[in-house]
Structure 1
Amino acid sequence: MVCINMEYKAFVVSEDDSGSYLGGIKTLNIQDLPAGDVLIKVECSSLNFKDALSFSGNKGVTRKFPHTPGIDAAGEVVSCATDDFKAGQKVLVVGYDLGMNTSGGFGEYISVPAKWVMPMPVAMSAHQSMAWGTAGFTAALCIDKLLMAGAKKEQGPVLVSGASGGVGSIAIMLLVKLGFEVHALTSKTADKEYFKQLGVSEIVSRAEFLKSSAKPMLKPIYGSAIDVAGGDVLATMLKMIKPGGSVACCGLVASIELQTTVLPFILRGINLLGVDSVELPLNVKQDMWLKMASDWSLPALLDQCQLIAKQQLADTLQSMLNGNIKGRYVLDHNLAG
């Protein structure tokens, strides 16, 4: 338990008598936060699909309710029981159990283990760090894995699924910055201007893409790919990767299932790369965040980001579940509803 007696506001998801899950603003006490080494006053959090799943009552993400989601948090240290951080220091918490079964960044305060906390990169503000958030961090990890597997722009275009979402949109921006040609796989084919702003060279209709998915092999078009969907999308991607190319897999928006054959692997020597952004060692996370703040910085990212207040969380999370949002959304606790 935290030994400070002070009230704060949080977006809390609760289960009602009918088994439905509802989210709303509640007044809580800091003393009710879980025991943790570091008490942080949260300035910003970002909205990720996992937050939307928690909001929906998905027990695979959050086991017990009432609960405060928010798997990312950027803010300032209030107190620290170890020598790792000082009061007033700007810090980030991204991943681990935050916002899943530990009260998360949709509350104005969090209490977490010191091993989850990292210093805010000097070149980043709270808003900038949360514009990236877990989604951007995941996108960066995907691209890093592709590069380590030998991806080169000369091999051909990179296909990115979920292209209008958080991971997809940031992956596109970063790939374009690095000189790759990017094709966007999306159901939102009418958003041509949006994808043009991101730097997309070609928009691929998800419906058309999946029409040929029953075939065991398809024409090799893409040098690499990033997939957030799983299921038939990932299975079809694997059949269209050029020899020696790779697919970085980081999500399950469509399905946790993957039905495929060994043919793309043994006939074209392709690689399927799994990407975990949650339980990485803290030093690995820190190195990538420093890279995101320097060599891989995206000055235009804030332009693609919408700031919202706590009172807008329920509607925005529901829109995310319905697949009706694009780009990044950042919760600013200082914004009035």
Structure 2
Amino acid sequence: MTGFKALLLREQDRKVSSAIETLDTDQLSDGEVLVRISHSTLNYKDGMVLNGLGRLVRTYPHVPGVDFAGVVETSSSPDWRAGDPVILTGWRVGEWHWGGYAQYARVKAEWLVRLPEGMTAARAMAIGTAGFTSMLAVMALERQGLKPGDGDVLVTGAAGGVGSVAVALLARLGHRVIAATGRPETHDYLTGLGAAGFVDRAELAQPVTRPLQAERWAGAIDSVGSTTLATLLTQLKSRASAAACGLAGGNDLPASVIPFLLRGVNLLGIDSVLSPLPERQIAWRRLAAELDPALIDGMIETIGLDQLPEYAHRILKGQVRGRIVVDVNA
């Protein structure tokens, strides 16, 4: 096979640099399935990897990109045949294994999910890990009993990737969604996704001074962490739940146990990386059925591999709205 294009990271003196290089499929990781990639996406974690933060990548050179969509080129697994449309999210791809910022990837057969009927690869990557995580968070809240009509549901980091899809999903399911954001210029965008009201993120980011505040939220999806998560826990209604799925504001949790003891609230951890296959299949089927394609298209900004370093800086600074889709062939 002729060479293919990839964004390759190299490390020297603990500094990470990136360049588009030509690779050969013989250089790819072990696995039963070779996928010809058409699209990837940019998540917050990708921004960290491209900037060499968090020591998420231990071995260089490295191809980042935690998500990709494409078609099977070759397969030694009976589960997949050439031409099958597939999605991959998680499994430490883009961290421990070479990822989706390339025109080809070789992975284990059990890491792949079939692209749902009627969903394009570009739309799948507009959803990506961020949207998949949002769906897992919604499913976790539903398992704890959250129903439309229970009250306001808070989404923090609402204009980001996880938050945008969470707002759209919850609104589509009939919930009254309150979006927390520090960017007033995104209010029209979030209203279009279904947000019914707004909270300034600065209000939630204040240090917790009282173990309980007035009950406000029937549920919450939080991608911020730190004081934001600690504050919303004090505002959950009795027996309500918060799904924690991000740390854009920090990985600490300066919280009290009082909300758990006196209101019986629940803090639900969302792990999209190692989510088991049956849960993945349900989540992707629901995403295909419950997300309006027009709303997905309205979230998308499409870039090429050469623009990733710039956008990796922007996503870490909170300067990205919605979802960034990467066309690896652009």
Question: TM-score, normalized by length of structure 2?
Answer: 0.96
The one of 244, 247, 254 aligned to 1:252: 247
The one of 102, 110, 115 aligned to 1:120: 115
The one of 196, 213, 216 aligned to 1:201: 196
Percent of aligned pairs with the same amino acid:
37
The one of 122, 139, 144 aligned to 1:144: 139
Which whole-Å deviations, capped at 9, do the CAs of 1:53-112 have from their partners, x for residues lacking one? 111113442112221111111001111112111111111111102111111010110000
Aligned to 1:67: 62
| Whole-angstrom distance in 1 between the partners of 2:221 and 2:209 | 21
Number of residue equivalences = 330
Q: How does 1:147-166 map to 2 (within 5 A)?
A: 147-166=142-161
The one of 12, 18, 21 aligned to 2:16: 21
Counterpart of 2:219 in 1: which secondary structure?
strand
Which whole-Å deviations, capped at 9, do the CAs of 1:194-248 have from their partners, x for residues lacking one? 2222221222111123336222111111111111111111100100001111100
Shift of 1:287: 1.8
Shift of 1:283: 2.1
The one of 2, 6, 11 aligned to 1:6: 2
Aligned to 2:76: 81
Shift of 1:308: 0.9
Counterpart of 1:22 in 2: which secondary structure?
strand
Counterpart of 1:201 in 2: which secondary structure?
strand
The one of 12, 36, 40 aligned to 1:45: 40
> What's the RMSD between the two structures over aligned residues?
1.5
Q: How does 1:223-302 map to 2 (within 5 A)?
A: 223-302=218-297
| Whole-angstrom distance in 1 between the partners of 2:280 and 2:7 | 27
| Whole-angstrom distance in 2 between the partners of 1:211 and 1:98 | 36
**Paired AA for residue 12 in structure 2:** D
Aligned to 2:94: 99
| Whole-angstrom distance in 1 between the partners of 2:196 and 2:286 | 25
- Contact persistence 2:206–2:228 (CA under 8 A): no
Counterpart of 1:211 in 2: which secondary structure?
coil
Shift of 1:184: 1.1
Q: Does residue 134 of structure 1 match 2:129?
A: yes
- Contact persistence 1:248–1:272 (CA under 8 A): yes
**Paired AA for residue 135 in structure 1:** A
- Contact persistence 1:189–1:204 (CA under 8 A): no
Counterpart of 1:294 in 2: which secondary structure?
helix
Counterpart of 2:179 in 1: which secondary structure?
strand
Which whole-Å deviations, capped at 9, do the CAs of 1:137-193 have from their partners, x for residues lacking one? 000110111111111232211111111110001000111111111111112134322
| Whole-angstrom distance in 2 between the partners of 1:266 and 1:216 | 11
Q: Does residue 317 of structure 1 match 2:297?
A: no
- Where does the alignment leave 5 or more consecutive residues of structure 1 unmatched? none
